[in-house]
A and B are shown apart, each in its own frame.
Chain A
Amino acid sequence: MNSQELAWRIRRHGVEMTHLSKGSHIGAILSVADIVGVLYADILRIDPSSPKKEDRDRFILSKGHAGAAIYAALAERGFFPVQELATHYANGSRLSGHVSHKGVPGVDFSTGSLGHGLSVGVGMALSAKLDRKSYRIYVVIGDGECDEGAVWEASMFAHHHKLDKLTVIVDYNKMQSLTFCEDTLSLNPLDKKFEAFGYNVLNVDGHNHLELKDAFHTPFDNGNPTLILAHTIKGKGVSFMENNILWHYRTPQGDEYEAAVKELEDNSYEGYIC
């Protein structure tokens, strides 16, 4: 399955999962869908038949509230049955709203409280460096998550220890829980801040698969970690959800659910350019 198809399926599953569960965070799921689609289709060296394989690439979704996107990607990659996605949020399910590794093949790390995932990824990258392993560590963080001080503690460490097997992706949709990032705690200029912290920073359109793939494949030989600032749109793919803070928490029900499904079905992955 190519990355476009996978990203489309993540969106379609995301709408269905948040509809069935009456759950939140569809805006974040749609925002990160292309990043996750490209990673799981083309970048991560992982094996559904051996989810714990020692030399696999590691992936952490630090913005755990978009966990449905990871569950959808893993199911589509064959880590567990796609039918199980319907149990998201349900009583007794292993698919919690925020991504959990407990009993879920393919999830390397559970998150949900923001500002945790990058430090853990840095620990994995340090361990890999000490043991001369060749696998890479990918961590997706949110822009609002950059309010957390631990993001910057981990960044300083990653640069100091030259953790060049670490790639951080910021899902930079410019919105957070209550309103726009710039109206909450100004991040600008975010790329310059991360550059100052020692990353090789790449600005890309976070919905353009070619740009994302180019960024993931861009080699650097200075030993520094890489940070991809993926400019995204919260709610991307369902027009009435795009850039609308309502859809951080609102669940698609009734006419809104029907309209979201119709728009996604009308604009299937085959219609995408990249």
Chain B
Amino acid sequence: MHLLTGDLGFGVLKPYWEQLPAQFTNVGIAEQNMTGIAAGMALSGKVVFTYSIGNFSTLRCLEQIRNDCAYHDADVKIVCVGGGFVYGALGMSHHATEDLAIMRALPSVTVLAPADLMEAEAATWAMYKQPGTCYLRLGRGGERRIHDKLTDFRIGKAIKIKEGKSVAIFSTGAIVDEVLESVTLLKDKNIDPAVFTFPTVKPIDEDMIRNCSKEYERIVTVEEHNIIGGFGSAISEVLAEIPTCEKAIQIRIGLNDTYSCIVGSQKYLRNEYGMSAARIATRIVDCY
């Protein structure tokens, strides 16, 4: 196993760097080169992780991921820290809000977006063991803990974290924090949604979607990402092929096909762009 960074990870990568210096390379600020090198090392028998923030490990080197990694079934595990609005105040360049859609569109790439540290740890191990090119979208670290324990984490499987009726809320990644807070707000309105996390965006858990489509009237998808092409779209693709009479209605919540043009904290931007707990609760109330 080898870890490549594009000169980012100040602080967080230091323990790894110190303990396993022979399995760590800082390639410099050169993400295309980093991803090509990762492919070359993977094709020489290693499992190689690439690390950077925001869009740098994905969009900046997209063609290297497509041609050099995915087409060659290379064991390259791409890690982005800062999915969504984590780097809110740094501006639009640092907002990763199309990565899920773009990575999901690449054949044979597994896409993971864990909700908390428990999911992140389980997803990292699963990704290490999963052959081929994978993408791991992390938040900022220090997210609210959702799971007490995770005993049966499997790539491609969603996790029900709260029972409920008539409404199911699906989310991927750290935005589940807002979802759970919205559930508290909805109690006053006598709405009691079930909540599911989807640590895997691709392959999406089709069985879970089909089952929920029968069991609930509304499926609300929440993602810290553009509503086009990402997690909500992955759910839509499955729902679209279910016969109308059995189908729950989907409500997509996410960034409404725009670039963020103001700055602020992650919490502030989530609210501004319609995916805070209050805004999620309002959308759900309004659909009744």
Residue A269 at the chain B interface, CB threshold 8 Å: no
Q: How far is the CA of A130 from the CA of B43 in the complex (A)?
A: 14
Cβ contact within 8 Å between A153 and B72: no
Residue A104 at the chain B interface, CB threshold 8 Å: no
A65-73, A115-123, A202-210 - the one binding chain B: A115-123
Count chain A CB atoms within 10 A of each CB in B22, B36, B39, B46 and give the residue with the most. Answer: B36
Q: How far is the CA of A245 from the CA of B22 in the complex (A)?
A: 47
Interface residue range, chain B? 20 to 34
Query: Out of A102, A110, A111, A123, which one reaches B37, CB within 8 Å?
Result: A123
Summarize A's interface: helix, strand, loop or mixed.
helix
Q: How far is the CA of A121 from the CA of B33 in the complex (A)?
A: 11
Given contacts A101-B72, A109-B72, A123 and B44 within 8 Å (CB-CB): yes
Cβ contact within 8 Å between A126 and B41: yes
Given contacts A119-B36, A157-B33, A128 and B71 within 8 Å (CB-CB): no
Cβ contact within 8 Å between B28 and A124: no
Closest residue of A by beta carbon distance from B45: A127
Within 8 A of A (CB), among B72-122: 72
Count chain B CB atoms within 10 A of each CB in A101, A108, A121, A157 and give the residue with the most. Answer: A157
**Min CB–CB distance A146 → chain B (angstroms):** 15
Cβ contact within 8 Å between A156 and B36: no
Cβ contact within 8 Å between B36 and A120: yes
Cβ contact within 8 Å between B64 and A109: no
Q: How far is the CA of A123 from the CA of B32 in the complex (A)?
A: 12
Given contacts A124-B43, A124-B44, A156-B28, A116 and B71 within 8 Å (CB-CB): no
Query: Out of A113, A154, A161, which one reaches B63, CB within 8 Å?
Result: A113
Q: How far is the CA of A100 from the CA of B65 in the complex (A)?
A: 16
Instruction: Provide the residues of chain A in CB contact with B251, threshold 8 Å.
Output: none
Given contacts A109-B72, A110-B71, A110-B72, A126 and B28 within 8 Å (CB-CB): no
Q: How far is the CA of A149 from the CA of B72 in the complex (A)?
A: 23
Cβ contact within 8 Å between B43 and A153: no
B contact set with A: CB distance below 8 Å: 2, 22, 25, 27-28, 30, 32-33, 35-46, 63-64, 67-68, 71-72
Given A109-B68, A131-B44, 8 other A-B residues pairs in contact with their CB atoms under 8 A:
A110-B67, A116-B63, A120-B68, A123-B39, A123-B40, A124-B43, A126-B25, A150-B33
Jot down 15 A-B pairs with beta carbons below 8 A, ordered by A.
Answer: A54-B45, A108-B43, A110-B71, A116-B63, A116-B67, A116-B68, A119-B33, A120-B36, A120-B37, A120-B40, A122-B33, A124-B40, A130-B2, A153-B30, A157-B30
